[in-house]
Chains A and B, each alone.
Chain A
Amino acid sequence: MARHPDTDLVPYLRGELPPAERERVARHLEECPDCKQDTELLRDLLGDLAQAIGQPPMVNWARYRAELREKLEARRGQLAWWRRPMPLALSAGLAGILLVVAVWGGREVSKSPDPLGPDEAVIGRELGLLQEFQTVERLDLLEDLEVIRNLEGLASERQG
C-alpha cells in the first residue's frame, strides 16, 4: 500500500486536488480503513470548527469607520508634518540663524586675540621689526664701513 496521504486529506475534502492526485487519494481511501475513518473525522471536525471558533462581539460599523478615518487623518498628519507651512518657515529660519552664527563666529575667531600671554603677543606684533633687528643694530657700523670704503676711495684718488 502506498504511503498514507495525510497532508492531502484536507485539500481532498475541499475538492482542490488535481484529477490525478484526487484519484490516487480516493483509491487509497478505498483500501485503507484508517485513512477513511480519519477523513470522516476531519470532515466533521472542519464542520464543528466553524461553530467552535464562534463570532466576535458586535461592532458599531459607523463608529468603526469614523475611528478609521480619524486614524488615517492622524497618520497623514504625522507623515507630512514637515511639509506644513509653519514648521517649514521655522526650520528655514532656524537654519538661517545657524548659518549667520557660523559665519559671524568664524570671523570673530579670526579676529580674536592671540591665545598667548600679553608679553608674547606684543613680541609677536613686533616680530617683523625684530627680524630686521640685527641690520638696525649694525646700521652705524655699516655706515662707518661705507665711510671707510669711501675714505679708501678718496685716498686712492688723492694718490693718483
Chain B
Amino acid sequence: MEPSDEALCERVARRDEAAFDLLVSRYQERAYRLAWSILRNAEDARDLSQDAFIRLYESAGSFRGRSKFSTWFYRILVNLCLDHKRKHKWWNLWVRDDNDDRADTILDRQPAPVNDPVDKLSREQMLKELGSAVDRLAPRQRAAVLLRVQEDMATYDIARVLKCSEATVRVHLHRALATLKKTVEKR
C-alpha cells in the first residue's frame, strides 16, 4: 500500500530523503502547472516550484496534519508565486521578455479595432481571450480561480491555501468569474 502524503511528510521531517523524492515525484507536475498558471513563465514556474519543494523539505516538521498535505503544500507554493508577482508587478506590466510563454504583449491585450475584418472569432480565439482575461485578474482572484479550475479544490481548501475565510473565497470567485463572463459576453 502506498504511503499517504501526510505520512511521507512526517518522514521528510525526519530527513528521509526517499520520502522527499517520492513526494516530489507525486507533486512536481501539479506544482509546476499551478506555478505556470499563476506566473505564465516556464522558467519562473520551474524555479518557484522547486523553491516550494525546498521549503517543504526545510519546514516539513511544522506540518501538523491539521489540513491535507496538498493544501499545506499549495499554500507554500501559491505564497511564493504571489510574492514573486508582487515583486515583479511593475516590470511585468510593461515588459514581457522572450521567455514569456503567452508571448502576447500589452499591445496584444488591447481590444481589437472595430473594423477588424474577422467578424466572428473562432472558439480558439475566445479561449485565448479568456486566458488573457485570467492573466489580468487580481492575483488572489486568479489564484482562487486556478485552484478551483485546475486543482478542483473545494472552497474550504482554497481558503486554507489563501489564508482567508470561505466567504472571502466565494467573493473572489464571484468577482473573478463576473469579470471573465463579461469578456465572453463582449463577443
**Least distance between B86 CB and chain A CB atoms (Å):** 21
Contact B177 A53 (CB under 8 A): no
Interface centre among B21, B126, B156, B173 (most CB of A within 10 A): B173
Contact A50 B155 (CB under 8 A): no
Contact A67 B130 (CB under 8 A): no
A148 to B6 alpha-carbon distance, docked (Å)? 112
A10 to B28 alpha-carbon distance, docked (Å)? 28
A68 to B126 alpha-carbon distance, docked (Å)? 37
A57 to B184 alpha-carbon distance, docked (Å)? 26
Contact B54 A49 (CB under 8 A): no
Where chain A touches its partner, the secondary structure class is helix
**Least distance between B123 CB and chain A CB atoms (Å):** 9
Q: Is B74 an interface residue (CB 8 A)?
A: no
One of A16, A49, A56 near B33 (C-beta < 8 A): A56
A59 to B36 alpha-carbon distance, docked (Å)? 12
One of A10, A51, A61, A64 near B177 (C-beta < 8 A): A10
Contact A65 B33 (CB under 8 A): no
Q: Is B150 an interface residue (CB 8 A)?
A: yes
Q: Which residues of A contact B171 (CB under 8 A)?
A: 7
A54 to B46 alpha-carbon distance, docked (Å)? 16
Contact A6 B154 (CB under 8 A): no
**Least distance between A28 CB and chain B CB atoms (Å):** 15
Q: Which residues of A contact B73 (CB under 8 A)?
A: none
Contact B150 A11 (CB under 8 A): no
Q: Which residues of B contact A41 (CB under 8 A)?
A: 181, 184
Q: Is B42 an interface residue (CB 8 A)?
A: yes
Q: Which residues of B contact A107 (CB under 8 A)?
A: none
Contact B149 A72 (CB under 8 A): no
A11 to B154 alpha-carbon distance, docked (Å)? 8
**Least distance between A38 CB and chain B CB atoms (Å):** 8
Contact B101 A49 (CB under 8 A): no
Knowing that A16-B156, A49-B149, A64-B28 are A-B contacts, what are 20 other residue pairs whose CB atoms are under 8 Å apart, sorted by A's residue number?
A7-B170, A7-B171, A9-B174, A10-B177, A14-B154, A45-B177, A45-B180, A46-B177, A48-B127, A48-B184, A49-B134, A49-B180, A50-B150, A56-B33, A57-B36, A59-B32, A59-B42, A65-B24, A72-B53, A75-B58
